[in-house]
Amino acid sequence: MITRRDFLRQSATAMAAGIILPDALRAKALRASVSASDQLNVALIGCRSMGWNDLVDVMNHPGVNCIGLCDINSSLLDSRAAEAEKKWGRRPDLYGDYRYLLERKDLDAVVIGTPDHWHCLMMTDACAAGKDVYVEKPVANSIAECDAMVRAQQRYGRVVQVGQQQRSSQLWHQMKAIVDSGQLGRIARVNVWANFGYAAILNPAKDGPAPQGIDHEMWLGPAPQRPFNETRLNGLWRMYWDYGGGLLTDWGVHLLDMALWAMNVTGMPLRVAASGANHTYLDNKTETFDSLSVFYQFPQFLIQWSNTAIEQGPYHMNYGLEFKGANATLLVNREGMELIPLDAKQQKQSWKPTNNEHLDHTTNFLDCIRQRRMETACTIQNGAFCAKYAHLGNIAARTRQVLTYDDQKHTFHSKEADRLITPQYRKPWKMFK
Ligand SMILES: NC(=O)c1ccc[n+]([C@@H]2O[C@H](COP(=O)([O-])OP(=O)(O)OC[C@H]3O[C@@H](n4cnc5c(N)ncnc54)[C@H](O)[C@@H]3O)[C@@H](O)[C@H]2O)c1
């Protein structure tokens, strides 16, 4: 057996010599570089886009084996299985129902890359089955599910990483350090925005029978019964309330997380006001809002969220954060960060990303599993906290009310808003208590 150090040295030598190791050979060497007792068996639930990317990052580490893939789309499963075999030299077992996958005794951890309305059930079932979990963001499609996921992690003591990879980015840690340093002066306001064209659906498919190989019932899961529709199947489910929360939950959890973290917010805002509609295109058929503004009021400052479906924004950034300080403004998104002093005679400063946040986020997950550390880079508590903020904004816009949320008593003190805290699961699905 070669050691991890041997492997890394040999790979470096091969790369320096311009030799590219074939995927499967590299994967075999990665596996062999870790002792049998330290090997981890992982599986993926939801194989189309982000979940697959996460799995590839996970598999890019020593001593990890992909033993299962699960999806409701059988042709996607077949093609991913072929890819997995080519990349990692072993064909994983295939599942259409994640509950059979979770029965496997030899499975250590799962990656959950399904639409948001499934995250809570899959994550809580995985914890109950004794598996560690990498769950994509937003952690859940409702406030009550966020709480259920925190309870499950605590009850079963599993390692949980939320797919908010910015928490593993050096650039965003620099942002936090700058805000904490006080050099921006008193910050009165943080503007957060995400403008993306997929917030509009202009030509939706017609409802019809599900194609062969698509398990529509299992796609719907706990969500209300609805006929199959091709437009909702892949990715664009984000723009329908039963499965997602539009740009505010999709991008909002990443970006609001950064605003809340930087501003050291640990509780609920004093109040939330919001207004939203579909204004960008008159024939936009999404249920979620393509034009939305949310105001989170705190005693000392305001955080404002906004989104549209036109891909432009302030400072030529279609998404980002702007910390408005009395001495300087700090602008940041994944591409870089700029500090603009109020005094025009002073020099601007800028920074670029310096690490692969996706890869480092999975490294952190695997390290935490091996060391049984619960404090991952983005815990379920972190993920639940900012997901609640996103849901607060959507609920304020949907009810057209200025809201105050009591996170201990689980109420808005508004019957209409309270009805949106907990989704009514379709039978036989039951939310974790
Ligand atoms: N961290 C990030 O930067 C990032 C980026 C993109 C997406 N995401 C998140 O990843 C998740 C997936 O998004 P996506 O864009 O990959 O969606 P997608 O629609 O492309 O893929 C979802 C996959 O889940 C499968 N699926 C649906 N129901 C299932 C079930 N019951 N069992 C097994 N598989 C099921 C679908 O068939 C599909 O293959 C979302 O929560 C999204 O918010 C995170």
CB-based burial label for 351 (10 Å; 0-12, 13-18, 19+): middle
Where does the pLDDT of residue 208 fall: very low under 50, low under 70, confident under 90, or very high at 90 and above? very high
Which residues have any ligand 1 atom within 6 Å of their CB? 45-51, 70-73, 76, 98, 113-116, 118, 136-137, 163, 165, 218-219, 221, 234-235, 250
Tell me which residue has its CA closest to atom 39 in ligand 1: 48
pLDDT at 26 over 80: no
- Of the chain, the percentage scoring pLDDT greater than 70 comes to 95
Reported as a single tens digit per residue, the pLDDT across 169-183 is: 999 999 999 999 999
Where does the pLDDT of residue 18 fall: very low under 50, low under 70, confident under 90, or very high at 90 and above? low
Ligand 1 atom, smallest distance to 98 CA: 32
How far, in Å, from the CA of 50 to the mean position of ligand 1?
Answer: 6
Mean pLDDT of the chain: 95
pLDDT at 20: 57
The rounded distance, in Å, linking the Cα atoms of 129 and 110 is: 11
Q: Which amino acid is at 298?
A: F
pLDDT at 157 over 80: yes
Reported as a single tens digit per residue, the pLDDT across 42-99 is: 999 999 999 999 999 999 999 999 999 999 999 999 999 999 999 999 999 999 999 9
Q: Is 212 helix (H, G, I), strand (E, B) or coil?
A: coil
Q: Is 264 helix (H, G, I), strand (E, B) or coil?
A: coil
Tell me which residue has its CA closest to atom 11 in ligand 1: 113
pLDDT at 31 over 90: no
The rounded distance, in Å, linking the Cα atoms of 378 and 364 is: 9
Q: How many residues does the chain have?
A: 433
Ligand 1 atom, smallest distance to 53 CA: 16
Q: Is the peptide bond before 299 cis (omega within 30 degrees of 0)?
A: no
344: its two tokens: 């025009």
The rounded distance, in Å, linking the Cα atoms of 25 and 312 is: 44
How far, in Å, from the CA of 51 to the mean position of ligand 1?
Answer: 6
Where does the pLDDT of residue 21 fall: very low under 50, low under 70, confident under 90, or very high at 90 and above? low
Ligand 1 atom, smallest distance to 233 CA: 19
